[in-house]
């Protein structure tokens, strides 16, 4: 069966208050990691196209315990070690609405081995270096002026370890989250539409250069679908990507849910991302207690979820905005950008915008329907 335009996917009951969610006791998993996850964590792959170029060579250097391996690759490789993607396709939202199976589950999944924590763990606090002036007086190296409600965390547990950093061949960096066995949801403007060759790389639980799940736990994107916003901020700024590696089958994934205007003004929501303003995008940031102050509906299922409480800067793009239905965290949108509206010469409204709506949930349903494991 197909989904009609503007069909609501998910629960219409409001999500749980974050105060109640954060008070929950952790759920402990078995701790027995899947064999495939253990194996992929041990190695990192480097990809080179061999067409019209010399093949890579591997040579041993040194002897005995001092032996190292020299791997030589073509210096002009245009993929820079990345695995090339296969297909990029932009469709009108109603196409995805028609081709998505409305019976597909919209809930998330926690694997039995994974611990579930309801508040992400902060990294260990490191003492700042002691600096002194020439006269011997102690100096604190940094000041923080004003409030930034985001904070760093270091936590590969479920669901925090399902969010990661997204890279692409244009040199951009953003954020994304797993929503299926092979499915990544991110912002549409993170996809290098029209490029050939092209690549996108997703590293879940990215922290200081690698995944907390293990150095090799990452995947390149094979295919992406979305709606081209042509650089404009709209409620259509979302994309679903198919991963070469089934990270979600090993790590679990988020669910997704429609958004109701009845929830406006309620601090149900959380956002995770990799903004450059936090540790130069090398560590994830979390902000909870976010509300949506207004929504602007676009045609065919696009919806702008506008917030004056979400602290968003460059690198957050594509990061999940989510709430909790019981023990099930579900995306209602992804970070798109900011907007400024002049109502009158003395009245300016500034909002950060997440892209959601029935087009968003239908695209997620399309991904689960057409790109299963």
**Structure confidence at residue 350 (pLDDT):** 67
**Structure confidence at residue 18 (pLDDT):** 96
pTM of the model: 0.89
| pLDDT average, residue stretch 56-69 | 79
In order of 20, 51, 116, the CA distances from 122 in angstroms are: 20, 46, 15
The alpha carbon torsion through 118, 240, 85, 192 (nearest 10 deg) reads -100
- Examine the pLDDT at 127 and tell me if it is beyond 50: no
The alpha carbon torsion through 212, 218, 223, 227 (nearest 10 deg) reads 20
- Better-scored residue on pLDDT, 37 or 295: 37
- Examine the pLDDT at 44 and tell me if it is beyond 80: yes
- Better-scored residue on pLDDT, 59 or 288: 288
- Better-scored residue on pLDDT, 325 or 135: 325
The average confidence (pLDDT) of the chain is 87
**Rounded CA Rg of the chain:** 22
Cβ–Cβ < 8 Å for 193, 88: yes
Q: Is residue 162 helix, strand or coil? A: helix
For the chain, what percent of residues have pLDDT higher than 70?
Answer: 84
- Which of 338-368 are b and which e, b meaning 16 or more Cβ less than 10 Å from the residue's Cβ? eeeeeeeeeeeeebbbbbbbbbbbbbbbbbb
ω into 159 cis (within 30 of 0): yes
- Examine the pLDDT at 49 and tell me if it is beyond 90: no
- Examine the pLDDT at 1 and tell me if it is beyond 50: no
pLDDT grade, residue 340 (50/70/90)? low
The phi-psi region of residue 171 (left if phi > 0; otherwise alpha if psi is between -120 and 50; otherwise beta) is left
**Structure confidence at residue 134 (pLDDT):** 56
Domains, the chain, with CATH or none: 18-39+85-122+151-370 (2.40.10.120)
Pairwise CA distance, residues 115 & 225, whole Å? 32
Cβ–Cβ < 8 Å for 254, 329: yes
Longest dimension (CA), the chain: 77
- Examine the pLDDT at 53 and tell me if it is beyond 80: no
pLDDT tens digits for 154-176?
A: 999 999 999 999 999 999 999 99
- Examine the pLDDT at 81 and tell me if it is beyond 90: no
Pairwise CA distance, residues 240 & 114, whole Å? 25
pLDDT grade, residue 346 (50/70/90)? low
**Structure confidence at residue 131 (pLDDT):** 53
Cβ–Cβ < 8 Å for 249, 105: no
pLDDT grade, residue 126 (50/70/90)? low
| pLDDT average, residue stretch 173-183 | 98
**What is the dihedral sign for C-alpha 143, 145, 148, 149?**
positive
The phi-psi region of residue 72 (left if phi > 0; otherwise alpha if psi is between -120 and 50; otherwise beta) is beta
| pLDDT average, residue stretch 86-99 | 88
């Amino acid at each position: 069966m197909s989904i009609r335009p503007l069909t609501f996917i998910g629960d219409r009951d409001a999500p749980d208050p974050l105060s109640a969610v954060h008070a929950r006791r952790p759920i402990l998993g078995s701790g027995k990691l899947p064999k495939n996850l253990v194996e992929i964590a041990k190695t990192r792959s480097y990809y080179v196209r061999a067409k019209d170029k010399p093949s890579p060579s591997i040579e041993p250097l040194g002897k005995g315990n001092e032996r190292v391996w020299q791997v030589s690759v073509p210096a002009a490789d245009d993929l820079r070690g990345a695995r090339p993607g296969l297909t990029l396709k932009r469709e009108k939202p109603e196409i995805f609405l028609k081709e998505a199976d409305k019976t597909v589950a919209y809930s998330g999944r926690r694997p039995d081995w994974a611990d579930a924590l309801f508040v992400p763990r902060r990294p260990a606090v490191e003492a700042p270096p002691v600096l002194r002036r020439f006269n011997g007086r102690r100096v604190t190296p940094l000041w923080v002026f004003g409030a930034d409600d985001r904070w760093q965390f270091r936590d590969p547990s479920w669901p925090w370890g399902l969010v990661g950093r997204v890279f692409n061949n244009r040199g951009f960096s953003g954020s994304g989250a797993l929503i299926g066995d092979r499915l990544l949801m991110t912002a549409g403007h993170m996809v290098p539409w029209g490029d050939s060759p092209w690549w996108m790389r997703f590293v879940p639980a990215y922290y200081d250069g690698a995944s907390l799940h293990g150095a090799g736990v990452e995947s390149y994107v094979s295919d992406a679908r979305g709606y081209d916003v042509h650089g404009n901020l709209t409620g259509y700024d979302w994309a679903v990507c198919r991963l070469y590696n089934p990270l979600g089958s090993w790590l679990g994934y988020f669910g997704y849910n429609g958004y109701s205007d009845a929830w406006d003004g309620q601090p149900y929501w959380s956002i995770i991302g990799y903004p450059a303003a936090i540790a130069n995008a090398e560590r994830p940031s979390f902000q909870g207690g976010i509300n949506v102050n207004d929504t602007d509906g676009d045609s065919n299922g696009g919806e702008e979820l506008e917030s004056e409480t979400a602290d968003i800067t460059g690198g957050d793009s594509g990061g999940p905005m989510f709430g909790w239905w019981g023990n099930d965290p579900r995306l209602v949108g992804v970070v798109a950008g900011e907007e400024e509206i002049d109502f009158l010469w003395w009245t300016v409204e500034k909002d950060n915008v997440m892209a959601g709506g029935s087009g968003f949930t239908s695209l997620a349903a399309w991904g689960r329907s057409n790109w299963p494991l």
